[in-house]
Copies of this chain bind each other. A is one copy, B any other.
């Protein structure tokens, strides 16, 4: 009988602020970082579960301290029993009343639980010898809803409704799985659009994105309206009318400013306006969405938990749901969010980039296509070509599409050499 014998943590930071990769109106100088957790067992297979929280530098040590606070919940557990009841483990971690006080269900403690939960899923998928998206897509509707905590969701989605959704997608799962394996999943790229890049670099990167087969890009906006108008004109001129261009304000605006600014940018045929204001502000997003229609409003990478997503959907406040692999409490909570999005008929276009977010979130989007929403309409996964070389199973993006991963696991394992080289002193 194998047990979890160690929870190891690493404070990993990449000095990305030197090149202004990842610079936007709220985050001028991020150092892309990972609070990294490894679960080791005494099983003969030697497999480990890896997970992480993506952060942007300072405070990564605090996030690591939160991971360590979970040691008592995980070390010593029977591996097989634990992995067979990840719904139960999720509830135990999230409902630890003393730890819950530190959120509740938001911020550093909640993200730490997410990383630990994702590490458990990584281990389970490795032991099953399949990529996470296939593991999830092989579960029955009942097994899937058992992973979800419906507390605080039942006014929008009950267990029975979730089962009905999943059952209706079940007969055609195999068809979509083979389509994914042959065609991949659509991607869009944010690589051209960081605010710290000058106009020439923007133009060059737009041309490269098109040459690489992307039909959808995203530009950061929100620091200066004249700059934004000029940069959007450059991008639209290069891209022509058929490439989608989304804009991302990274929470810079209040309601009136968001409406005014979005209306000024609308002439460039904006695919969506992302994070117009505080991610906590359901009512503001609803007011903005109503005023800027038909421009779709997108948000999610900073949405703290399923309860806030539920409200954004109930209020008609978002048209594009941007799932994030490491903001909420891991795979289980993201399944709840996928189910909510399917119930409300809103497409999920995951946030990615950062450190390993592409590697992690692709599994959730592909599971959504196979077993939940059953659709690719209006759906794209963000892609940024950063830091993939540090991952054992890096994403493969070709002709603007994510290839379906085939290696066992959740995509969250970094090379030991990368961990060692970028561990923060």
Q: Are A106 and B106 in contact (CB under 8 A)?
A: yes
Q: Is the interface of A mostly helix, strand, loop or mixed?
A: loop
Q: Are A287 and B65 in contact (CB under 8 A)?
A: no
Residues in chain B near residue A255, CB distance under 8 A:
154-155
CA distance A305 to B311 in the complex (A): 17
How does the 8 Å CB contact mask read for A304-323 relative to B, with 1 for contact and 0 for none? 11011011001100000000
Considering the complex, which residues of chain A in the window 13-72 have a beta carbon less than 8 Å from any beta carbon of chain B? 26-31, 55-59, 61-63, 65-66, 69
Residues in chain B near residue A29, CB distance under 8 A:
97
A25 to chain B, nearest CB (A): 10
CA distance A106 to B305 in the complex (A): 12
Contact of A155 with B254 at beta-carbon distance under 8 Å, contacts A29-B97, A304-B280, A307-B281 already known: yes
Q: Are A282 and B284 in contact (CB under 8 A)?
A: no
Contact of A256 with B66 at beta-carbon distance under 8 Å, contacts A96-B58, A97-B56, A280-B304 already known: no
Considering the complex, which residues of chain A in the window 80-108 have a beta carbon less than 8 Å from any beta carbon of chain B? 96-108
Residues in chain B near residue A100, CB distance under 8 A:
26
CA distance A411 to B308 in the complex (A): 35
Residues in chain B near residue A62, CB distance under 8 A:
62, 65-66, 69, 102, 108-109
Is A408 an interface residue, CB under 8 A from the partner? no
Residue in B closest to A315 when the chains form the complex, CB atoms: B283
Residue in B closest to A96 when the chains form the complex, CB atoms: B58
Q: Which of B61, B101, B302 has a CB less than 8 Å from the CB of A27?
A: B101
Chain A interface size range: 35 or more
CA distance A110 to B278 in the complex (A): 15
A74 to chain B, nearest CB (A): 14
CA distance A45 to B109 in the complex (A): 39
A residues with a Cβ closer than 8 A to B are 26-31, 55-59, 61-63, 65-66, 69, 96-111, 151-155, 251, 254-256, 277-284, 287, 302, 304-305, 307-308, 310-311, 314-315
Residues in chain B near residue A308, CB distance under 8 A:
280
Q: Are A154 and B59 in contact (CB under 8 A)?
A: no
A185 to chain B, nearest CB (A): 27
Among A105, A152, A251: residue with most chain B CB under 10 A: A152
Residues in chain B near residue A59, CB distance under 8 A:
66, 69, 98-99, 101-102, 109
Residues in chain B near residue A305, CB distance under 8 A:
280
CA distance A154 to B254 in the complex (A): 7
Ranked nearest first, the 5 interchain pairs of A and B with the lowest CB-CB distance are: A107-B107, A58-B98, A57-B98, A65-B65, A155-B255
CA distance A99 to B96 in the complex (A): 25
Q: Are A108 and B107 in contact (CB under 8 A)?
A: yes
A118 to chain B, nearest CB (A): 17
Residue in B closest to A254 when the chains form the complex, CB atoms: B154
